Amino acid sequence: MRYSPSINDSPCCLAFLAFILLLAVAACSTGQPEMNKAGGEFDAVKTAAPSVSKVDKLQGRWRSRSDTCATIEIKGNIFLSLYNEEIVSNGVLTFVNNCQERFHDPQGEFFIVSNEADALCYHLTVVGDTFL
């Protein structure tokens, strides 16, 4: 049987294929999102589900055990203090490392509620499903 060279055997073709392979590897390592078959973007590397932050755990309405008329409501980072369903005060909630230094710390045990008039610091020891 006689061997007949094809274009696929040429050094030029092999160099071209090596170049394409190099581009494919480089494209995969750019950190850019890949396209799925429908054309939408998705992350190439799946990450673990994010842990629920303390701010997320605090979302909703919380009623005082000692005075059922007293309620707090947290919407995003907005803190509302209510009494008989009327807003008494409001402020912005920020987690901090402690009440003295007050450095921003999303995983901190302390939070500040600040408004135009004041900035109060609280120590959050427990966040349960039904109690603080």
Q: What is the pLDDT of residues 12-48, one digit of tens each?
A: 444 444 444 444 444 444 444 443 344 444 444 444 4
Output the pTM of the full model.
0.57
Angle at 53 between CA 51 and CA 56, to 5 degrees: 120
Q: Are the C-beta atoms of 119 and 81 separated by less than 8 Å?
A: no
The beta strands (E) that lie in the chain are given as 34-35, 41-42, 60-63, 70-75, 78-83, 86-96, 110-114, 119-123
Please write the tens of the pLDDT for every residue from 60-117: 999 998 998 999 999 999 999 999 999 999 999 999 999 999 999 988 899 999 988 8
Enumerate the β-bridge partners of residue 96: 104, 110
Q: How far apart are CA 25 and CA 8, in angstroms?
A: 21
